[in-house]
Protein backbone atom coordinates (compact mmCIF):
# COMPACT_ATOMS: atom_id res chain seq x y z
CA UNK A 1 0.00 0.00 0.00
CA UNK A 2 1.52 3.30 -1.03
CA UNK A 3 1.38 6.45 1.08
CA UNK A 4 -1.47 7.99 -0.91
CA UNK A 5 -3.66 4.92 -0.45
CA UNK A 6 -2.91 4.90 3.26
CA UNK A 7 -3.99 8.51 3.75
CA UNK A 8 -6.83 8.60 1.22
CA UNK A 9 -9.60 8.24 3.83
CA UNK A 10 -8.23 11.17 5.80
CA UNK A 11 -7.94 13.25 2.64
CA UNK A 12 -11.55 12.46 1.77
CA UNK A 13 -12.64 13.42 5.28
CA UNK A 14 -10.66 16.67 5.17
CA UNK A 15 -12.10 17.57 1.78
CA UNK A 16 -15.64 16.82 2.94
CA UNK A 17 -15.25 18.93 6.06
CA UNK A 18 -13.69 21.76 4.05
CA UNK A 19 -16.63 21.75 1.65
CA UNK A 20 -19.01 21.97 4.59
CA UNK A 21 -17.08 24.44 6.73
CA UNK A 22 -15.62 26.96 4.29
CA UNK A 23 -18.97 28.56 3.42
CA UNK A 24 -19.84 28.70 7.12
CA UNK A 25 -16.52 30.31 8.03
CA UNK A 26 -17.07 32.99 5.39
CA UNK A 27 -20.04 34.38 7.30
CA UNK A 28 -19.57 36.78 10.19
CA UNK A 29 -20.97 36.21 13.67
CA UNK A 30 -23.51 38.92 12.95
CA UNK A 31 -24.88 36.95 10.01
CA UNK A 32 -25.16 33.58 11.72
CA UNK A 33 -25.75 32.61 15.34
CA UNK A 34 -23.24 30.15 16.87
CA UNK A 35 -26.10 27.72 17.50
CA UNK A 36 -27.01 27.80 13.80
CA UNK A 37 -23.43 27.08 12.84
CA UNK A 38 -23.26 24.19 15.34
CA UNK A 39 -26.48 22.65 14.03
CA UNK A 40 -25.33 22.98 10.41
CA UNK A 41 -21.99 21.41 11.32
CA UNK A 42 -23.70 18.53 13.15
CA UNK A 43 -26.10 17.85 10.29
CA UNK A 44 -23.26 17.94 7.76
CA UNK A 45 -21.24 15.58 9.93
CA UNK A 46 -24.13 13.11 10.08
CA UNK A 47 -24.56 13.37 6.30
CA UNK A 48 -20.90 12.52 5.82
CA UNK A 49 -21.36 9.49 8.07
CA UNK A 50 -24.35 8.35 6.03
CA UNK A 51 -22.46 8.83 2.73
CA UNK A 52 -19.88 6.33 3.95
CA UNK A 53 -22.22 4.04 5.89
CA UNK A 54 -24.65 3.67 2.97
CA UNK A 55 -22.23 1.81 0.68
CA UNK A 56 -20.93 -0.54 3.40
CA UNK A 57 -24.52 -1.23 4.47
CA UNK A 58 -25.45 -1.97 0.86
CA UNK A 59 -22.49 -4.34 0.55
CA UNK A 60 -23.35 -5.97 3.88
CA UNK A 61 -26.94 -6.58 2.75
CA UNK A 62 -25.87 -7.83 -0.67
CA UNK A 63 -27.62 -4.95 -2.47
CA UNK A 64 -24.25 -3.81 -3.82
CA UNK A 65 -21.44 -6.03 -4.98
CA UNK A 66 -18.83 -6.43 -2.25
CA UNK A 67 -15.49 -4.84 -3.10
CA UNK A 68 -12.82 -5.04 -0.41
CA UNK A 69 -10.99 -1.87 -1.42
CA UNK A 70 -14.16 0.22 -1.62
CA UNK A 71 -15.44 -1.18 1.66
CA UNK A 72 -12.14 -0.35 3.35
CA UNK A 73 -12.12 3.26 2.12
CA UNK A 74 -15.64 3.86 3.43
CA UNK A 75 -14.94 2.03 6.68
CA UNK A 76 -11.76 4.02 7.30
CA UNK A 77 -13.72 7.22 6.74
CA UNK A 78 -16.35 6.01 9.21
CA UNK A 79 -13.66 5.31 11.79
CA UNK A 80 -12.33 8.85 11.35
CA UNK A 81 -15.77 10.48 11.40
CA UNK A 82 -16.87 8.56 14.48
CA UNK A 83 -13.80 9.71 16.39
CA UNK A 84 -14.91 13.33 16.18
CA UNK A 85 -15.49 14.87 19.62
CA UNK A 86 -19.29 14.80 20.09
CA UNK A 87 -19.28 17.73 22.52
CA UNK A 88 -18.15 19.94 19.63
CA UNK A 89 -21.17 18.74 17.63
CA UNK A 90 -23.67 19.17 20.47
CA UNK A 91 -23.11 22.46 22.30
CA UNK A 92 -25.70 23.67 24.78
CA UNK A 93 -28.57 25.61 23.24
CA UNK A 94 -28.90 23.36 20.18
CA UNK A 95 -31.65 21.00 21.36
CA UNK A 96 -34.96 20.63 19.55
CA UNK A 97 -36.93 22.80 22.03
CA UNK A 98 -34.32 25.56 21.61
CA UNK A 99 -34.26 25.34 17.82
CA UNK A 100 -37.49 23.60 16.79
CA UNK A 101 -37.56 22.81 13.11
CA UNK A 102 -33.78 22.96 12.81
CA UNK A 103 -32.72 19.88 14.74
CA UNK A 104 -33.92 16.56 16.09
CA UNK A 105 -31.46 16.55 19.01
CA UNK A 106 -33.44 15.87 22.19
CA UNK A 107 -32.74 17.60 25.52
CA UNK A 108 -31.85 14.14 26.88
CA UNK A 109 -28.41 14.64 25.33
CA UNK A 110 -27.60 17.36 27.86
CA UNK A 111 -29.77 15.98 30.68
CA UNK A 112 -28.01 12.60 30.49
CA UNK A 113 -24.70 13.64 28.99
CA UNK A 114 -22.79 10.66 30.42
CA UNK A 115 -25.26 8.24 28.80
CA UNK A 116 -25.05 10.13 25.51
CA UNK A 117 -21.25 10.09 25.55
CA UNK A 118 -21.30 6.36 26.34
CA UNK A 119 -23.65 5.74 23.41
CA UNK A 120 -21.39 7.79 21.13
CA UNK A 121 -18.42 5.81 22.46
CA UNK A 122 -20.22 2.58 21.48
CA UNK A 123 -20.70 4.04 18.00
CA UNK A 124 -17.00 4.90 17.80
CA UNK A 125 -16.06 1.36 18.87
CA UNK A 126 -18.49 -0.18 16.38
CA UNK A 127 -17.13 1.90 13.49
CA UNK A 128 -13.58 0.93 14.42
CA UNK A 129 -14.67 -2.72 14.24
CA UNK A 130 -16.17 -2.14 10.79
CA UNK A 131 -12.84 -0.69 9.68
CA UNK A 132 -10.94 -3.64 11.14
CA UNK A 133 -12.86 -6.22 9.10
CA UNK A 134 -14.02 -4.27 6.03
CA UNK A 135 -11.62 -5.96 3.63
CA UNK A 136 -11.95 -9.46 5.16
CA UNK A 137 -14.96 -10.41 3.07
CA UNK A 138 -18.67 -9.73 2.91
CA UNK A 139 -19.71 -12.01 5.80
CA UNK A 140 -17.37 -10.31 8.29
CA UNK A 141 -18.31 -6.88 6.98
CA UNK A 142 -22.01 -7.73 7.32
CA UNK A 143 -21.67 -8.81 10.95
CA UNK A 144 -19.76 -5.66 11.89
CA UNK A 145 -22.08 -3.36 9.95
CA UNK A 146 -25.20 -4.82 11.55
CA UNK A 147 -23.64 -4.39 15.01
CA UNK A 148 -22.70 -0.82 14.10
CA UNK A 149 -26.26 -0.18 13.00
CA UNK A 150 -27.46 -1.22 16.45
CA UNK A 151 -25.18 1.38 18.02
CA UNK A 152 -26.61 4.04 15.71
CA UNK A 153 -30.15 2.99 16.56
CA UNK A 154 -29.51 2.96 20.29
CA UNK A 155 -28.36 6.56 20.22
CA UNK A 156 -31.14 7.67 17.89
CA UNK A 157 -33.81 5.96 20.00
CA UNK A 158 -32.83 7.86 23.15
CA UNK A 159 -31.42 11.12 21.88
CA UNK A 160 -33.05 12.00 18.55
CA UNK A 161 -36.63 13.00 17.76
CA UNK A 162 -38.41 11.32 14.86
CA UNK A 163 -39.14 14.60 13.07
CA UNK A 164 -37.76 18.11 12.91
CA UNK A 165 -41.15 19.67 13.66
In a domain? residue 165: no
- Kindly calculate the radius of gyration of the chain based on its CA atoms and give it in whole angstroms: 17
Q: In angstroms, rounded to a whole number, what is the distance separating the alpha carbons of residues 83 and 23?
A: 23
Euclidean distance between the first and the last CA atom of the chain, given in angstroms as a whole number: 48
* 28-42, 47-61, 76-90, 136-150: least confidently modelled range: 28-42
Give the three-state DSSP class for 91.
Answer: coil
Mean model confidence pLDDT for the chain = 88
Q: Collect all residues with Cβ–Cβ distance below 8 Å to 133 and sequence separation of at least 6.
A: 140, 141, 143, 144
Domains in the chain: how many in total?
Answer: 1
In a domain? residue 164: no
What percent of the chain is predicted at pLDDT more than 70? 82
> Which domain, by its residues, includes 85?
3-159
In a domain? residue 93: yes
User: What are the helix (H) ranges across 27-162?
Assistant: 34-61, 68-82, 86-89, 108-111, 113-133, 138-159
Nearest to 107 by CA among 116, 97, 117, 115: 97
- CATH code of residue 149: 1.20.120.10
Amino acid sequence: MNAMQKFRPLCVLALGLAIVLIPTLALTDEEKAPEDVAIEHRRAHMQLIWRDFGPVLSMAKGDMEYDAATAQVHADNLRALSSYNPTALFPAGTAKPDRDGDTRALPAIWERLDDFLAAYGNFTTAMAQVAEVASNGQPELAAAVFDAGKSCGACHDDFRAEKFE
